[in-house]
Structure 1
Amino acid sequence: MSRIGKKPVELPSGVSVSVSGQTVEVKGPKGTHSFNATDDVTIEVQDNVVAVTPRGKSKRARQQWGMSRTMVANLVQGVSEGFKKELEIQGVGYRAQLQGNVLKLNLGLSHDVDFTVPEGVTVTAPKPTQIVVEGTDAQLVGQVAANIREWRKPEPYKGKGIRYKDEFIFRKEGKKK
């Protein structure tokens, strides 16, 4: 049984959900998003709650049950509050700055990295060593943050690189004589 799927998704004020067939459309103050559920689940809107139930006892139906509920919950959170990932840059001379729609990263490479920000996501650099990725789509926000982090992952000896705000980097001891 899915523990996640059992829990209904509550709708905050200002958010409306419409279900037509297997398509769920969520409208809120930050925009509109939709999701196509598989035929293995049934999605119903009652009062101020969205309930997801499996159609049968097959393994696939039970798998899709929890996943579909999470997708609907992410849509609701995205159009009401939005998603945010914060990145920190550590290292001497490592910095980031935003120029229009391009994030310029100095990461100790022989060249500067120009990262073009995709549509649907806003990237800000409040400090030269901090990057904030915000948007209404959870998957897109996470993917953009991961793509930025990919340019210079934190290394285990000095901890230099781009890391998530509260990420712990396991440190290794260097060579000894």
Structure 2
Amino acid sequence: MSRIGKHPVPVPAGVDVKVDGQLVTAKGKLGQLSLTLVDDINASLEDGKVVVKPANDSKRARTMWATSRTLINNMVTGVNQGYTINLEINGVGYRAAVQGKELVMQLGFSHDVKYPIPDGITIKCDKPTAISVTGYDKHKVGQVAAEIRGWKKPEPYKGKGIKYDTETVLRKEGKKK
């Protein structure tokens, strides 16, 4: 039995969740998200909570049970509170700024890197070396943060590059004489 899947997803005040067959829709103050469940999973709304159960005893139903519950929980949390990922830029002359609908980064290349900000995502640069990616879709926020980090991953010798604020870069010792 799934330890995660058996817990119902609580629906906070201000969030409207609708279950229509395999389609689960969550609407809140930040936006609206929908998810189509696989055929092996059944979801229902009981007492202000979304209950997810496997439709049969197949292996696919057991594996998708907790996954579906977690995806529904991420939707409900996203439209209610939203998600934020913070990035740090380390390196001499490395900086970022938001100009209109683009994130412009100077990362030591011969040209500035211009990243168009997708819909549903808000990017702020409080300092030239700090980037904050915010949105209501957890998957999209993580994907945008990974794409920004992918332009200049942190290197292990001097630690230069873009890293998550929770990430620790394992440093290596340089050449010895």
Short-chain TM bin: over 0.9
TM-score, normalised relative to structure 2: 0.98
* Alignment of structure 1 residues 52-91 onto 2, 5 Å: 52-91=52-91
| Consecutive unaligned residues in structure 1, runs of 5 or more | none
Paired position in structure 2 for 1:157: 157
The letter of the residue matching 1:11 is V
Tell me the alpha carbon deviations over residues 98-121 of structure 1, each in whole angstroms, 9 at most, x when there is no partner: 100011100011111011111111
Paired position in structure 2 for 1:128: 128
The letter of the residue matching 2:113 is V
Report how many aligned residue pairs link the two structures: 177
Instruction: Find the aligned partners of 1:159 and 1:42 in 2 and give their Cα distance.
Output: 47
Tell me the alpha carbon deviations over residues 112-153 of structure 1, each in whole angstroms, 9 at most, x when there is no partner: 101111111111111000000000100000000000000000
Paired position in structure 1 for 2:20: 20
Instruction: Find the aligned partners of 2:32 and 2:115 in 1 and give their Cα distance.
Output: 27
Instruction: Find the aligned partners of 1:143 and 1:57 in 2 and give their Cα distance.
Output: 33
The letter of the residue matching 2:44 is E
Q: CA deviation at 1:41?
A: 0.6
Q: CA deviation at 1:60?
A: 0.5
CA RMSD of aligned residues (A): 0.7
* Alignment of structure 1 residues 85-124 onto 2, 5 Å: 85-124=85-124
Deviates more, 1:10-19 or 1:144-153: 10-19
Q: CA deviation at 1:162?
A: 0.2
SS in 1 for 2:140: helix
The letter of the residue matching 1:81 is Q
Q: After the TM superposition, list the runs of 4 or more consecutive aligned residues in structure 1 that deviate by more than 3 angstroms.
A: none
Instruction: Find the aligned partners of 2:27 and 2:110 in 1 and give their Cα distance.
Output: 46
Paired position in structure 2 for 1:167: 167
The letter of the residue matching 1:12 is P
The letter of the residue matching 1:176 is K
TM-score, normalised relative to structure 1: 0.98
Instruction: Find the aligned partners of 2:3 and 2:156 in 1 and give their Cα distance.
Output: 37
Instruction: Find the aligned partners of 2:2 and 2:91 in 1 and give their Cα distance.
Output: 44
Instruction: Find the aligned partners of 1:2 and 1:90 in 2 and give their Cα distance.
Output: 42
Deviates more, 1:24-33 or 1:71-80: 24-33
Instruction: Find the aligned partners of 1:92 and 1:2 in 2 and give their Cα distance.
Output: 49
Paired position in structure 2 for 1:33: 33
Instruction: Find the aligned partners of 1:60 and 1:172 in 2 and give their Cα distance.
Output: 43
Percent pairwise identity: 54
